[in-house]
Amino acid sequence: MRKRFLPRIVTMVVALVAAGLTGSLTAAAEAPSRPLMGGMELNADPTGPVHRPCVSAFNVRSGKVGYVLTHGACGKVGQKVYGPDGTLIGTIAFASTVGPDAALVEVSNTRQWEQGPWIALPETRQPLTVAGAKEAPVGDKVCISSPVSGRKCGTITARDRTVTLPDRTLRGVIQTDICVRDGDRGAPLFTLDSRGRAHAQGHLVAATRWYPCASYFQPINAVLSHYRLTLLTG
């Protein structure tokens, strides 16, 4: 008599184990698995009108909606944007290279990306924490972080500069002597306080191609004020 119940018991055990395993896999798939940080590679949909790699600057919010801030020429409104591993982040909700320069990628894939007050550093797995956006004066040391150039530092050589480019005029930008590369567009500019925390200064919008180096950054506070955004800090 006992043998008749054995297959049924085994079937029930297998079903319970399978159900538990499926639940675990589902929970793992739904859990945020990637920190979304400044200093990361961003790629606009290659089938869209603009396809050039850029770098994320900072995480910002408008109300309950989260965005990644980057250079205004990194894509067109409506283009999908992917992270360095090809995972969808979201869609460009706003993009402009004038008044002030900015592109905002709405983070719709919150199941696989978690926003936070972080800047990635290519040379270490430990990110910087963004503590605020205290404006640094001319002469202060500043750094950028980019998957192309890594962390590079220099000095603020001017503020509130007007720079004429072939396609547009930049107004009110920060000038530094940091030598940058083409793939650094959108990279975050920041200072470090005595506790090793970052203070956002701006994002890269243009640079010279000759020495001595001159790189230009859209000030973060102008972006936050003009577009009514809040910087994620920790």
pLDDT at 190 over 80: yes
Task: Return left, alpha or beta for 72; rule: phi > 0 is left, psi -120 to 50 is alpha, else beta.
Answer: alpha
pLDDT band at 4 (very low <50, low <70, confident <90, very high): very low
- Residue 216 and residue 64: Cα distance in Å, rounded? 31
Structural domains in the chain (count): 2
- Residue 106 and residue 60: Cα distance in Å, rounded? 10
Q: What is the CATH number for 104?
A: 2.40.10.10
What was the pLDDT predicted at 2? 45
What was the pLDDT predicted at 98? 84
Do 104 and 139 have their domain in common?
Answer: no
Residue 234 lies in a domain: no
Residue at a domain's end among 116, 133, 161? 116
Residue 68 lies in a domain: yes
For 70-104, letters b (16+ CB in 10 Å) and e give: bbbbbbeeebbbbbeeeeebbbbbebebeebbbbb
Whole-angstrom CA distances from 64 to 2, 58, 129, 224, 229 are 60, 16, 21, 15, 11
Give this prediction's pTM.
Answer: 0.84
Do 97 and 44 have their domain in common?
Answer: yes
Do 164 and 196 have their domain in common?
Answer: yes
Residue at a domain's end among 68, 98, 116? 116
Residue 85 lies in a domain: yes
- Residue 156 and residue 153: Cα distance in Å, rounded? 10
Residue 27 lies in a domain: no
- Residue 206 and residue 71: Cα distance in Å, rounded? 9
Q: Are 220 and 71 in contact (CB under 8 A)?
A: no
Do 126 and 222 have their domain in common?
Answer: yes
Q: Are 95 and 103 in contact (CB under 8 A)?
A: yes
With tokens 């000759």, the residue in question is 210
What was the pLDDT predicted at 144? 98
What was the pLDDT predicted at 92? 97
pLDDT tens digits, 64-111: 999 999 999 999 999 999 999 999 999 999 999 988 999 999 999 999
Do 54 and 111 have their domain in common?
Answer: yes
Question: Which comes out higher in pLDDT, residue 126 or 65?
Answer: 65
What was the pLDDT predicted at 100? 93
- Domain coverage including residue 155: 117-229
pLDDT tens digits, 26-60: 443 454 579 999 999 999 877 665 567 899 999 99
DSSP code, position 14: H
Do 216 and 143 have their domain in common?
Answer: yes
pLDDT at 193 over 70: yes
